[in-house]
Amino acid sequence: MAENKADKKPEAPAAPAAESTPKTKKINRLNLAGIDSQLAICKEKQGGLSSKYAHQLLARRKALTS
C-alpha cells in the first residue's frame, strides 16, 4: 500500500492564477507616467498616501522631476 502512494506524483495546476496577471515593475524602473498611475491606484485602494509604498513612489517622482 505504501508503494502505491510513492508511485503517485502530485499533479501541477494547469494554469496558475499568478501567470495571468502582469507582474508589477520595480519603482526604479517606472517612468513618470507609471509612477503617477501607481500613486492614483494607491490613493484609491489604500485611502491615502501614507503607506511606505506611496512614500517611495513620491520620492521617486521627486527624483525624476528634479
Query: Domain ranges in the chain?
Result: 27-66
Closest CA to 42 of 34, 53, 31: 53
pTM beyond 0.85: no
Q: Is the pLDDT of residue 4 over 80?
A: no
User: Phi/psi at 56 (nearest 5 deg)?
Assistant: -65, -40
What is the per-residue pLDDT across 11-63, written as a single tens digit (0 to 9) for each? 666 655 556 667 778 999 999 999 999 999 999 999 999 999 999 999 999 99
Rounded CA-CA distance 27/53 in Å is 9
